[in-house]
Structure 1
């Protein structure tokens, strides 16, 4: 999923993990940088496949998708070299990233394993130190490398450390061939690092001296810094950064900066209701979204300061956003449901048959395709599914513009017809009499078991494969 990913340090290993994954717009209407951003927008649009073909093709792409492989991130023998006891324990998958036919799976314990889709074997563990706890992963397509963000027991897990390793080195089983990033930065709690794939930038925050720094994602060169103790938050959009300052009694000071060089493009105050908590402030192109507790949603056009309000009964504060730059729309997630809105404050789409499994909207269980036409999510299974009892959910593929469910991976739709098992015993439900595991098979889970308690999901668009991870530390490959 393209967008920014922010990781903040926590005093304790693997807790308080803050990851903000958002899709933002390619274009912007703010004066002073509209031309360069519009070029990015045109380039993005021209590279797309025909949308009508994409929609008609979507159902066919997922029609015969089946459980094909199973990987295990837990290996007692392989973990013997890891000094921390919790690294040697089985734990749930919290993040999956795929790049160049390699699947990376990060467990909650902090162990990260790399698997080859060519050989279906584990290549290596990415933990290169016995006391390393990996917190997050980021694939840098600019230089074909994987960035790992880690904390270490040697400094009481108090500071983030980043490392870049070329995919080719990992393919050769040499995860220690990488190099450290941002060594000059003190990323102690509540410091953070944020990777912005859209703009090709990295934002770091050193809480020790209250300095934000922006780096080039291509070569990790520092571009500029922002030193202001009154900055409370920074939001990144294509071409720009929104600086949110300490709130005054009746307003919040805001600045819009060029992401390229930090030049101030606009500076203004936004009026607030006194003594009301601010639920969120978000920037999307020229639109500023502001919501206060028990108040209407405000959509401000920063070009002419035209204000649109949406009733608080129609738009309730969501738990997460995903901005869709191609369609000038945004997704909201609230109480396991997904909705699509435009910037006139109108509800565009409500999704049918798309009740999310996780109530807290775990963004690692949601994937938006690069064309921004499909959403793939881990959902509650149908009540009429004979195998939906217990913890088995379904993987739903839905059209974002219409809300229609195009395909679904569930336990019951993997049964063979007329007693003919077409899956070689690897993908049928637990009641399939023909399900026999061959000695060479790595799959030990039934489809129903593989669909239980999914904790991470990733879709590889090039291979047309879905990867899911569960609470047992297993990774399952779903493909044609």
Structure 2
């Protein structure tokens, strides 16, 4: 996954992303018959995986509530907007620690072991944290911030080991990329797929690539005609200033910056370029009111998809494991392959937000499931007050599970009664206006954040042993 943060004063965080209970017959309660039916099924592993996914998301209940707002702790802050309640815009979980970032710029860390807030990550009274990135290479959290003293104009990065945060020592980290002037329109982009960081210093007009493991600089790119850089597994695509009839392109090795290929891609004159995207050897180019072009840069083979079939999406998610990509447009999600064929249309996955807020979308590491905040009743033309969390299979489009407030099987988890914290929200309030979502695959827990600055944990409640086998 790629994540790009630009240094404009207060924009929304931009991202590039390079991912009811069914009635059963009585015999299905017999474990032996379940296993036998699974083994002789024509559907084979696919059926088992689907059933296993359905089981994983059954019996989800509200178990915990965390609050990012603390009037006493916020008294030291200089900026008035930091002291007010603000919606959650980003959630990250790592090593039983949950990090929640608010729109105002406050970031809080919570422990899933003690179910208490550990600390706030703002170590300066005028610090506004803009984004978070978990660096799994060295088990640390990178925060990207702007400061009032700098008129919010320059990005500052800091890395802090998760272990220090767990000890309540958020100031034990150290700054990154101090040599770079990340003022508007500069940016920093974290590339988890290749283990690299790309920075752009607008003052010097220089791009630099750093190693995400130890933050050493690998090489720089200095060319005033570079308009944009797109990162793909193993390579980078350099997009240069457009000429009247073509756009110059270069493909570089992500490891050392060496040029692998340089070529021009022909364009329709006087037509705006909607997007240029690179995915391995495939180049995707779309101009206004023109067909989608998919170019194989190895052999120059060109595939076109009619503009009536493929309309310009608002966002992409590339699925490297499956050699597919997701498109988002008007609350709908679709899956395409690189032959220009529509692979999947989702049967029940109408997104809640029309602008494709990717903080409300999670793709599992196997890239087989998409978890999103959706319309609970997509066939209802009226405005719903509460959405649902939908879990769908990416390859089939089937909805495997829905966590809805009006589901009688969804409630407050019995385990929550023994927790030291208090859940003040109802299930309906927890699923109302969800502004951020994260799925912890190791713990099988879903974390949601809402406009009140509250974080809720949804987890599977204990079930009888005969329910554990699909």
Q: Partner of 2:145: helix, strand, or coil?
A: strand
1:441–1:219 Cα change, 3 Å: closer
| Whole-angstrom distance in 2 between the partners of 1:394 and 1:193 | 33
Structure 2 residue 386 is matched with structure 1 residue 392: yes
Shift in Å at residue 296 of structure 1? 0.2
| Whole-angstrom distance in 2 between the partners of 1:441 and 1:82 | 25
Match 1:250 to one of 228, 245, 253: 245
Shift in Å at residue 466 of structure 1? 0.4
| Whole-angstrom distance in 2 between the partners of 1:54 and 1:172 | 39
1:383–1:273 Cα change, 3 Å: closer
Gaps of 5+ in 2: 20-44, 461-470
Question: Which residue of the partner structure matches residue 10 of structure 1?
Answer: 8
Structure 2 residue 66 is matched with structure 1 residue 71: yes
The normalised TM-score by structure 1 is: 0.88
Question: Which residue of the partner structure matches residue 45 of structure 1?
Answer: none
Question: Which residue of the partner structure matches residue 44 of structure 1?
Answer: none
| Whole-angstrom distance in 2 between the partners of 1:414 and 1:204 | 49
Q: Partner of 1:63: helix, strand, or coil?
A: coil
Q: Partner of 1:340: helix, strand, or coil?
A: strand
Asked if the contact 2:63/2:412 (under 8 Å) is kept, the reply is no
Shift in Å at residue 285 of structure 1? 1.2
| Whole-angstrom distance in 1 between the partners of 2:285 and 2:378 | 38
Question: Which residue of the partner structure matches residue 454 of structure 2?
Answer: 474
Question: Which residue of the partner structure matches residue 302 of structure 1?
Answer: 297
Structure 2 residue 346 is matched with structure 1 residue 366: no
Q: Partner of 2:185: helix, strand, or coil?
A: coil
| Whole-angstrom distance in 2 between the partners of 1:116 and 1:210 | 42
| Whole-angstrom distance in 1 between the partners of 2:81 and 2:331 | 31
| Whole-angstrom distance in 2 between the partners of 1:348 and 1:237 | 22
Question: Which residue of the partner structure matches residue 15 of structure 2?
Answer: 19
Q: CA RMSD in A?
A: 1.8
Q: Partner of 2:366: helix, strand, or coil?
A: coil
Question: Which residue of the partner structure matches residue 97 of structure 2?
Answer: 102
| Whole-angstrom distance in 1 between the partners of 2:451 and 2:169 | 28
Count of aligned positions:
434
Q: Partner of 1:318: helix, strand, or coil?
A: coil
Shift in Å at residue 57 of structure 1? 1.0
Question: Which residue of the partner structure matches residue 119 of structure 2?
Answer: 124
Question: Which residue of the partner structure matches residue 405 of structure 1?
Answer: 399
Structure 2 residue 443 is matched with structure 1 residue 444: no
Asked if the contact 2:350/2:378 (under 8 Å) is kept, the reply is no
Q: Partner of 1:60: helix, strand, or coil?
A: helix
| Whole-angstrom distance in 2 between the partners of 1:304 and 1:423 | 57
Asked if the contact 1:9/1:17 (under 8 Å) is kept, the reply is no
Question: Which residue of the partner structure matches residue 381 of structure 1?
Answer: 376
Q: For 1:327-338, what aligned pairs fall within 5 Å after superposition? A: 327-338=322-333
Q: For 1:38-77, what aligned pairs fall within 5 Å after superposition? A: 53-77=48-72
Question: Which residue of the partner structure matches residue 279 of structure 1?
Answer: 274
| Whole-angstrom distance in 2 between the partners of 1:383 and 1:284 | 32
Q: Partner of 1:80: helix, strand, or coil?
A: helix
Q: Partner of 2:457: helix, strand, or coil?
A: strand
Q: For 1:55-454, what aligned pairs fall within 5 Å after superposition? A: 55-382=50-377, 390-415=384-409, 423-424=413-414, 441-454=421-434
The normalised TM-score by structure 2 is: 0.89
| Whole-angstrom distance in 2 between the partners of 1:138 and 1:312 | 36
Asked if the contact 2:116/2:421 (under 8 Å) is kept, the reply is no
1:422–1:468 Cα change, 3 Å: closer
Asked if the contact 1:10/1:17 (under 8 Å) is kept, the reply is no
1:71–1:414 Cα change, 3 Å: farther
Shift in Å at residue 226 of structure 1? 0.1
| Whole-angstrom distance in 2 between the partners of 1:336 and 1:234 | 27
| Whole-angstrom distance in 2 between the partners of 1:97 and 1:265 | 36
Shift in Å at residue 17 of structure 1? 2.8
